[in-house]
Amino acid sequence: MIPREINIHGVYVPPFLIVFVMALISAWATAWLLNRFRLARHFAFPRVVFVAFVALYTIAFGTFIIRI
């Protein structure tokens, strides 16, 4: 897949922006679930883990869903 801009009603936005927003929402959802089931207590620095989730989701979405 070749990275290309995404057309939203005539406004061309970079694919990275879309992927980043998707990763952010997914990381938020994951963090919420981990909090909900008290699994977050097993992490030493949850805020750093949150940033890691964003990075991992960005790479995953950028590789498999929207090429960045």
Partner 1 sequence: MISRRVQDAFKLALALVIAAGTSLVLGWDNPKWAMFAVAFSFLATGGETLAKGLMRLAGTLIGIVLALSFLALFAQDRWAYAASVSLWLFICGWFIAGGSRIWYMWFVGGFMVILLVEYSQFDARTAFDVAVLRMQQTALGILIYTLVESLIFSNPAKEAFKSDLLAQIGRVRQGFGVLTAGFRGEIGPAECRDEARKLGQSGIELQKMLTARLDGATVESFDVLERREAWRQAVTVLAGLIDAFAHWRLGFADLHDGSTHPLPPGLEPVLQEIDRRLAAAGALLAGCTSFTPPRQVAIPQVTEAGDGGDPFHQGALAVSLMALAEIERASRGLLLAVADGQGLSGKGIRGGARAAARSSLIPATILPDPERFAGALRVSVSFLLSFLIFVWFPDIPAASMLLILSTNIALIVSRAPATPIGIVAKIGMVMILLGAALHIFVMPHLTSFAQLAVMIFVVSFAITYMFHDPKVAIGRTLGLAMMIVLMQLENRQSYSFLYAANLATAFLVPFGIVWLTGIFPVSFRPEDAFRRLLRRYMRACLALLETMTGDRPVPAGWWQRQIRAWNLRLIQTIPQQMTPWLNAMPDAALPGEGRARAQELLEALQALSHRIEDLFLLSRAGAGRRRHRELMPGLREWCDGVAAICRALRDDPQSLSRPDSAIGPVRLTRLRDLAASLVLRNAGATQGDGPQDGRDLLRELTALRGVGEAVSGLLPLARGVDWDRMQEARF
Q: For binding to partner 1 (CB under 8 A), which residues are involved?
A: 11, 17, 31-32, 34-35, 38, 40-47, 49-50
Smallest separation (angstroms) from partner 1 to the CB of 35: 5
Write the burial class of residue 19 (CB in 10 Å: 0-12 exposed, 13-18 middle, 19+ buried). buried
Nearer to partner 1, 1 or 17 (CB): 17
- Type of residue at 55: A
- Alpha carbons 18 and 20: distance in angstroms, whole number: 5
| Chain length of the chain | 68
Smallest separation (angstroms) from partner 1 to the CB of 46: 5
Tokens 């009603």, residue located: 9
Nearer to partner 1, 52 or 59 (CB): 52
Nearer to partner 1, 2 or 47 (CB): 47
